[in-house]
Structure 1
Amino acid sequence: MVLMNVPVGEAKPGETAPRRNYKFKNAAVTKPKGYSCSTVYEFFNEAVSKHGKNRPCQGWRDLIDIHVETKKVTKIIDGEKVSVDKKWFFYEKSDYQYISFGELQKTINYYGKGLLKIGLSPSAENKLHLFASTSPYWMRTFLAAQTQSIPVVTAYDSLGEEGLTHSFVQTGSTTIFTDNDLLVKLINPLKKATEVKYIIHSENLDPNDKRSDGSLYKNAVKAIEEIKKIRPEIKFYSLNEVIKLGQDNDATIDVHPPKPEDLSCIMYTSGSTGVPKGVVLSHENVVAAIGGVGGNIPDTLIGTRDRVIAFLPLAHIFELVFEMLVFYWGGIAGYANVKTLTDASCRNCEGDMKCFKPTIMVGVAAVWEAVKKGIISQIEKQPSTTQKVFWAAYNAKIASKKYYIPFVPSLIDTLIFKKIKQATGGQLRLVLNGGSPINSETQRFITNTIAKMLIGYGLTETCANTCVLTPELYEYDVAGSLVASVTVKLVDVPEAGYYAKNDQGEVLISGLPVMKEYYKNPEETKKAFEYEKGWFSTGDIGEWTSSGALKIIDRRKNLVKTQNGEYIALEKLESIYRSNKYVLNICCYADENKVKPVGIVLPNEAQVKELIFDLGLDKKAKKADDVEIAHYLHDKKLRRELTKSILETGKTGGLTGIELILGIVLVDEEWTPESGFVTSAQKLQRKKILASAKEEVDKLYDDNEANTTSCKP
C-alpha cells in the first residue's frame, strides 16, 4: 500500500517523525511545476505566456437592478407577537462577460501605473488596503499592486468597525480600494486612520444610475460627502479613472517588479478569537503556495477546460490561492455572489450556477451542509415510492463504486441524479471543501449526488498550504496528502491526552509557504514559533492514519475541560451535529463547571416547520409553510423532539458519553457575517453567540440540575 505521507527523518521524544508527500519526499517544492517565477508579478506574466493572450481567464455579471419586496412577518419581541415589515431583495443580472489573459495583463499594467500617477510610490511604505467583496475588480487591484511592488492589505468586507480601524491604523495604509456600497463603512474608521490619502471605488459614480431606484448612486455620493467632512484632503477615484490615468501615461511610467523576499500582502485573519492578526506573506510565500497545491493537483486533473465559480471571500487565503491556481491551470474564474448562486433570489435571469455552468466549485462546510439538507428536504416532499427509488439508487451507486462495477454510477447519475446536477449548471466534475472540517457523511453524500469532493486543509499563516485530498488516494474523514511544499510533524499535547507515540499531537508545519511573522505583533509571532524555530504551531490536533493520511481530530483552543476533568472538542461535536436535518448551524458550549455541553441551534426552517406541523403544535396551520417558527422556540415538546433527533445524529457519528449534548437552545437570529455571529469564512463567533443566548443556556443547565436533584432519594 502506498502511504500518502512518508517519514523523512527520525522521530524525537514527544514528536512524530516529520513527513512529506510521498511524491516529494526528497525535497519540498518552492514554485509551480514548469515555472521559473519567484514573485506574483512573474507568476502571472508566465501564466499569460503559457496559456496565450487570447484565452479567457475571468468572467463576471453586471448588476442590472435590485428589486425590493416588503412582506409582513411575525416576531416575538419581549414575549409578545409583533407584526413587522421585512424587506426581501431580488437581483437582476446580465449574462457572463469575459476578459482574456492578454487583456487582463494589459489592464493590470495600466492600473499599476495609474496608482503611481495618483501619488503612490513603489515602496513597502505605500500599502494598498483591499476592503471589498469578491469580484474581478478585487483581483485586478491585487495584481496591479504587484506590478509596482506595492504591498496589499486585505480585510473581510464584513469586518466590524473595530477590526477594520485596527487594520488601517496598524498598517498605515495610504490607499483603500472598496466597493461603492461599502464606502459608508469607512466614515468612522477614517477618523483614526489618518494616513489614508486615496480611496478607489469599484464603480463609476453615475447620476443616471437608476438601480434600486437610484439608491446605489445616492448612498455612495452621500458616504463620500460624509468622509470629506472629516477628511477633506482625501482624494477619490473610480477604478476606471485610475486605469485610464495609467493608460494615458503608459510611455512615461515604468513597472517596478518586486523581489522574492518583498512583501506581497498582509492578510488579516477573521478575528473569531479576538483582534484580527495581520499575516505577513512575501512573494516567495505565495509562489511556493501555488506550487504546493499545484503539485498535488496536476493539470491532467484540472486544466484549461475548467470553469471555477468564485464566490468565497478573496480576503480569505483559501480563495486567493485557489484563484491563483486557476491562472496556473489556464481555466476561467467566474465571479458570483452567494446571494445569487441559485435562481431563488434572482429576477428576470438565472442564478450564477446555471448561467456560468462551472466544472469546479469551492466551498466551506456550511455551504455543503446547506446543499445536502436542501436536496434531502426536496426528496422528503416526494411520494414514498420516489424517496425509496432515490435512496436505493444512492446506496447502489456507493456499492457499485466499492466493488468496481462499471457503468452503474454513470447510469444512476443520468437517470436519478440528473435534476440535482442541473441545479448547479449540469457540468460540475469536482467540488472542494476548505476552511473547516466537514462531516464524512456530508462528504459522501455530495460526492455521490453532485461531484467528487476534494478536501483542502491549510491556514492563513501557511498560505493555505498543508493538505489536499485528491482522487488518486481518496478516503473519507481525512485531510489527505500533504501538499508538495510543506513538511509536517505532530507533537505531544499531554494535558489533552494526545501523544506522538500514538501518532497523535498538535500539527506543526515548516516550508516556504509558512509566514515569517504577524505584522507588528512580536508577542503572537513568538507564540506561533515557540515550540521550534521554523515550525509553525497550528493549534490543530492531528493524527497519522494507517494509510499515512493526516486527519484533523481536534482544535486545541476549542478543547474545553469539563467538571469531571475530561476534554471536549467543540468543533468535532459541531461538525457531526450540524449534519442533522433540523440543524442549519450549531454552536456547542461547555461550561467548565458542568459535565456535558449544550447546543445553541439555528434551526433549518423548512424541516423544523414540518416537525412543528407534524407534532400538531400549531392548531391554526393548514400546512407546514403556514407555521411561524418564532412562536415555538421555547416550546418544550419541540425542544425535546429536536434534542432526541440531534442526539441520535451524535451517536451515529460516533459521539459518546460527555460528547452527547445535555439539551438545546433555539435561536432565530440569522448567523451571517453581517449579523456578526459568523466571520466571512463562516467561523463561529462563539462569544457573541453565547452572549445572545446566555440566559437560555444558564436556564437549561439550571433546569437539568433541578431535575437531577429532585430525582435523588
Structure 2
Amino acid sequence: MMELDNVLSVMHIVLDGNGDDGPSVAGQEGIEMVLQWQPDGLNPVACGPRVGLFGPKLHDKRVSSLRVRLLRTIHNRAGLGSAFYARSSNPTARHPLSSYLFLRSLPPPSRSCRSLRLSTSILPLLLRSTQDALVLDGWEEEEEEEEEEAAEEMKYLVEVEKGREGVDGGPSVGPVYRSVFAEDGFPPPIPGLDSCWDVFRMAVEKYPNNRMLGQREIVDGKAGKYVWKSYKEVHEIVMKVGASIRSCGVEQGRRCGIYGANCPEWMISMQACNAHGIYCVPLYDTLGAGAVEFILCHAEIQIAFVEEKKIGEMLKTFPNSTKFLKTIVSFGKVNTEQREVAEKHGLAFYSWDDFLQLGGSQQFDLPVKEKADICTIMYTSGTTGDPKGVMISNRSILSLIAGVNRLLHCVNEQLHEYDVYMSYLPLAHIFDRVIEELFIFNGASIGFWRGDVKLLVEDIGELKPTIFCAVPRVLERIYTGLQDKISSGGLLKHTLFNVAYKYKQFNMLRGSKHEDAGFIVDKVVFNKVKEGLGGNVRLILSGAAPLATHVEEFLRVVSCAHVLQGYGLTETCAGTFVSLPNEMSMLGTVGPPVPNVDVRLESVPEMGYDALSESFPRGEICIRGDTLFSGYYKREDLTKEVLTGGWFHTGDVGEWQPDGSMKIIDRKKNIFKLSQGEYVAVENLENIYGLVPAIDSIWIYGNSFESFLVAVINPNKQALECWAEANGVSGDFAALCENPKAKEFILGELSKIGKEKKLKGFEFIKAIHLEPVPFDMDRDLLTPTYKKKRPQLLKYYQNVIDNLYKSAK
C-alpha cells in the first residue's frame, strides 16, 4: 500500500444495502450517520485481506459527508475485528443504511468528542482495489450533537427526574428514566385483582374449560401424550388441598415449604397457599439437606410438600427442622420406613392421594387478602453466605404482570389463551414463577417436563410450546449442538447454512423483521431448527444470567423466533429490563426498562463509573417501583443496606446505551484490592476473559495480600484437544489439563484478549489451574441459576490457589 502522510485511519468496511450492490446514495445528499465512542477508544484488530465492498457508493462525490453511529460492539470470535452498526439519519431513505466497520487501526478522538464526521468530498476517500480497503484521509471532530441526534437518543426512555451531584459525601446519581411505554403513567390496577389468588380465581371464572396444567402420561414405562387438567378441574383440587392444609392447623400468615422439581402438584400446592393467605416458601430441588434445613428452620415452616425422590434429603434435616415442621406431604407415595421415621419425631406424613382426603367435607372460609400481604418468601441462592429470604407481596407480582402485559401489547406480542409454556425452569426461582403467573392471568396452558434434562428436547417436541424461557446455559447448549451438526453435515450443507445465515443476518441488520428477513431460507434451512423446539415457538426469553452476544445473535437468525434477553433480581420480582423484538442494536444488552419501574444509575467513584457522564453514563443500577420486595425475612439490617429512600441498589453496574437500553458491564460487590492498592472488578474481568473460545468457564481470584491475579479455568474440551493434536501433545483431557504446554497455551490466549481489550497490567492473570471437571452444583460451587459461589470456590480450591501463588513468585 502506498504511504500517505496524512492517513489517520485504515479500515475494512462492508456496507449493507438493498440488492446485490445496494442502493446508491447518489442524489441523496446529506445522508449522515454518527459514530459514538466507548470511553477506552476502539481497539485495533487484525483484519483479513479480503473484505468486500457492498452497498452505498461512498466514493460518489455528490455525498457531502458520512457520519456513523456506533450502536453496539461485537467481539468477533473469528478474529476478524470489531463490528459496528450504523443507521442512516435521512428520513427519506427507503431503507435505513447499516454497516459493519472492521477496524484495522483507529486512534480514539479526544475525550470531549461525542462524534466524528467522515467527509467523502472535502476529505479524499480512496478505494484500494488490491485489498478492498478504504483509506480515510482525516477525521473532523464535532463537539456538539445535532438536534435530530438528541431526539434519537434514549428513544425508548422518558426522563422523569434530573440527575444531581452527590450530597454530604454521597455519590452522584443520574437522571431517573422509565419506559417510553409508561410515558403517561404506569399501568393502572385491574379491578378485582388484589392478590395472586385473584389471578387464578379470575382465570377460572373466565376460562373454566381451557387447558391449564399438562403432564405426559406414562404407559408401560413409556411417555405418551400430554394429559391436561382444565382450569376448573385444577380449582377443585386446589380447594381440597387448601382444606387439608387448614385441617393441619396451618393458618393465614404461616409458612408452607415446597421442595421438588416442577410438576402439577407443585403449582396446585402453591395455589392452595395463595387461597388461604399462607406464605409459600419454595426450595430448589437441587438443594442439599444442609440448605434445606436452614430454610425450614429460618422460615419456621409448619408444613412441607416434597417430591417423592427428595424425601430422603428432607428426612436428613431431622431433628433440627422438627421444631417447627409438623406435617410432610409427598407428591407421590410414602413407604413404611419413611413414615416411621417421621412419626418417631412427632410428624405426620401423607401421600398425595391420602392428603387430598384429609380435609374431608370441612369448609374453611377464604381469608381476605390485600395487595400489601406477603405472598411468598423466596430464598436467594446465597453466593456469599446463607440464603436470604426475599419477601414478595401480592402487589409486587400484580405490578409485574401489569407491566409485562403492557410491554407485550406495545410490541404486538401479547399473550393469548392458546399460548403454551414449557415449565422446566425451577418454580423456586422468581423468573419462572412470574412467567407462569402471567400465563395463568391470560388463561394459557402450562405443560411440565419429566424432570430429566436428557429428556427435555423430547418433551418440547411433544408439547410444542409457543413461548420458551431459558437460562443462558440451556441456550448455549442449543447453540453448541447446532454448531456441531453444521460442522459435521458435509461441505454442501455447511455452505448452504452459512449462505442462508449471512443472507438473513444481512437483512435483519438492515432493519427487516425476522419473519420478513429470510422467508425462503426459513422454510428451506432454518425450519429444522424451529422444529427442534417443537415447531411453534415464537418468543424465546433468556434470563437469570448474561447471555453471550454471539449466541443471542445466532439464535435470533436461525430460531425463527424473537430472542430477547431480560434482567431482574428476586428483589425486583424478576422483570425489570427486557430487550425488544426486531431491535438488533440491542444485542448484548438487556433492553430498556419494563413499563412498571423507574431506573437510575448511581456513580461508583472507586471503580471509575460516573452516572452523570454525558457520553457514557455508567453506575450501579437502582430500581424504584411497586415490583420491589418488602424486605429480607428476619434481616432488617440487610434490607436497610440495599433499600434506601425507596430505591433498591442492585449491586450490578450498568451503562445506558444510545437508544435507552441497558448494558450490564460489572458487579459492584465483586470488587477487591490487590496488595499495591489497585481495585479489581473481578466479574468484569471474567466477562472479558470468558470471550476466549478455548475456555468454558473461569473463576479469577486475588486478595489484598497478593500483587497479582490467578484463576481456575474449565477449558473447552474440543478446543484443547484440537490444540493438542495440532501440536503433537498426547494424553486424555485430564492429562492435557495438567500439561504445562497446555497451560502456557491458555495463558497466551488470555494474554491476547487482555491486550486486545487494553487491560491494565495488574488485570492480567499470572498463573492458572486447568480444571477438567466443570464447576457444578453437586460440589456447591454454583447456585441453581449457575452463578459462581465465590466463598465456596475458594474453600474448595484453597490448596490450588496457594500453590499457584507459590509457583508464580
How does the TM-score come out when normalised to structure 2?
0.74
Trace 1:327-366 onto structure 2 (pairs within 5 A): 327-336=440-449, 339-340=452-453, 342=455, 351-366=458-473
1:323 to 428, 432, 436: 436
- Which residue matches 2:162? 10
Per chain length, whose mean CA-contact separation is higher, i.e. which structure has more relative contact order (CA < 8 Å, sep 6+)? 1
The answer (yes or no) to whether the contact 1:478–1:552 under 8 Å persists in 2 is yes
Trace 1:78-117 onto structure 2 (pairs within 5 A): 93-117=223-247
Shifted more, 301-310 versus 9-18: the winner is 301-310
Trace 1:689-700 onto structure 2 (pairs within 5 A): 689-700=793-804
The answer (yes or no) to whether the contact 2:572–2:627 under 8 Å persists in 1 is yes
Q: Which letter does structure 2 place at the counterpart of 1:319? A: D
Shifted more, 600-609 versus 288-297: the winner is 600-609
Q: Which letter does structure 2 place at the counterpart of 1:58? A: L
The answer (yes or no) to whether the contact 1:340–1:352 under 8 Å persists in 2 is no
- Which residue matches 2:198? 42
Q: Which letter does structure 2 place at the counterpart of 1:420? A: V
> Over the residues paired in the alignment, what is the CA RMSD in angstroms?
2.8
1:419 is the counterpart of 2:528: yes
* Distance change in 2, residues 1:281/1:404 (3 Å): closer
| CA offsets 1:390-437 (integer angstroms, 9 cap, x no match) | 333322221121224685523222322333333222332221111112
- Which residue matches 1:243? 356
1:195 to 324, 327, 336: 324
Alignment partners' CA distance in 2, 1:499 and 1:320: 35
User: Where in structure 2 are there 5+ consecutive unaligned residues?
Assistant: 1-151, 166-171
- Which residue matches 1:387? 494
| CA offsets 1:74-93 (integer angstroms, 9 cap, x no match) | xxxxxxxxxxxxxxxxxx53
1:508 to 616, 622, 639: 622
| CA offsets 1:572-621 (integer angstroms, 9 cap, x no match) | 343454455443333233444556544422244455444444444337xx
* Sequence identity (%): 28
- Which residue matches 2:208? 53
Task: Please report how far the alpha carbon of residue 696 of structure 1 lies from its aligned counterpart in structure 2 after TM superposition.
Answer: 3.3
- Which residue matches 2:548? 439
Alignment partners' CA distance in 1, 2:526 and 2:711: 34
Alignment partners' CA distance in 2, 1:339 and 1:525: 37
- Which residue matches 1:517? 631
* Distance change in 2, residues 1:681/1:222 (3 Å): farther
Task: Please report how far the alpha carbon of residue 313 of structure 1 lies from its aligned counterpart in structure 2 after TM superposition.
Answer: 1.2
Task: Please report how far the alpha carbon of residue 38 of structure 1 lies from its aligned counterpart in structure 2 after TM superposition.
Answer: 1.4
The answer (yes or no) to whether the contact 1:54–1:102 under 8 Å persists in 2 is yes
Alignment partners' CA distance in 2, 1:647 and 1:448: 32
User: Where in structure 1 are there 5+ consecutive unaligned residues?
Assistant: 67-91, 206-219, 344-349, 620-627, 706-713
How does the TM-score come out when normalised to structure 1?
0.83
Alignment partners' CA distance in 2, 1:636 and 1:200: 54
Alignment partners' CA distance in 1, 2:475 and 2:220: 29
- Which residue matches 1:234? 347
Alignment partners' CA distance in 1, 2:385 and 2:370: 33
- Which residue matches 1:211? none
Alignment partners' CA distance in 2, 1:399 and 1:284: 44
The answer (yes or no) to whether the contact 2:695–2:714 under 8 Å persists in 1 is yes
The answer (yes or no) to whether the contact 1:293–1:468 under 8 Å persists in 2 is no
Alignment partners' CA distance in 1, 2:459 and 2:760: 42
1:155 to 283, 287, 292: 283
Q: Between Structure 1 and Structure 2, how many residues are aligned?
A: 641
Alignment partners' CA distance in 2, 1:608 and 1:337: 35
Shifted more, 144-153 versus 186-195: the winner is 186-195
| CA offsets 1:627-650 (integer angstroms, 9 cap, x no match) | x42232201223333444455566
Q: Which letter does structure 2 place at the counterpart of 1:204? A: K
- Which residue matches 2:595? 484
Task: Please report how far the alpha carbon of residue 196 of structure 1 lies from its aligned counterpart in structure 2 after TM superposition.
Answer: 0.8
Alignment partners' CA distance in 1, 2:275 and 2:299: 20
- Which residue matches 2:32? none
Shifted more, 105-114 versus 649-658: the winner is 649-658
- Which residue matches 1:636? 740
- Which residue matches 1:528? 642
1:464 is the counterpart of 2:574: yes
Shifted more, 315-324 versus 52-61: the winner is 52-61
Q: Which letter does structure 2 place at the counterpart of 1:686? A: R
- Which residue matches 1:204? 333
- Which residue matches 1:137? 265
Alignment partners' CA distance in 1, 2:763 and 2:459: 40
Q: Match of 1:542, SS?
A: strand
The answer (yes or no) to whether the contact 1:373–1:581 under 8 Å persists in 2 is no
1:28 to 181, 186, 199: 186
- Which residue matches 1:88? none
Alignment partners' CA distance in 2, 1:362 and 1:682: 16
Alignment partners' CA distance in 2, 1:21 and 1:278: 29
The answer (yes or no) to whether the contact 2:212–2:229 under 8 Å persists in 1 is yes
The answer (yes or no) to whether the contact 1:146–1:257 under 8 Å persists in 2 is no
Alignment partners' CA distance in 1, 2:730 and 2:467: 43
* Distance change in 2, residues 1:401/1:277 (3 Å): same
Q: Which letter does structure 2 place at the counterpart of 1:282? A: S
Q: Which letter does structure 2 place at the counterpart of 1:37? A: L
Alignment partners' CA distance in 1, 2:243 and 2:315: 28
Shifted more, 53-62 versus 263-272: the winner is 53-62
The answer (yes or no) to whether the contact 1:30–1:485 under 8 Å persists in 2 is no
Q: Which letter does structure 2 place at the counterpart of 1:178? A: V
Q: Which letter does structure 1 place at the counterpart of 2:656? A: W
Alignment partners' CA distance in 1, 2:435 and 2:223: 25
| CA offsets 1:305-325 (integer angstroms, 9 cap, x no match) | 322212111111111111111
Alignment partners' CA distance in 1, 2:803 and 2:490: 41
Trace 1:551-566 onto structure 2 (pairs within 5 A): 551-562=663-674, 565-566=677-678
Q: Match of 2:669, SS?
A: helix
- Which residue matches 2:88? none
The answer (yes or no) to whether the contact 2:405–2:414 under 8 Å persists in 1 is no
Task: Please report how far the alpha carbon of residue 524 of structure 1 lies from its aligned counterpart in structure 2 after TM superposition.
Answer: 0.6
2:661 to 520, 525, 549: 549
2:365 to 254, 257, 273: 254
Q: Match of 2:786, SS?
A: coil
Q: Match of 2:631, SS?
A: coil
1:688 to 770, 781, 792: 792
- Which residue matches 2:105? none
* Distance change in 2, residues 1:103/1:12 (3 Å): same
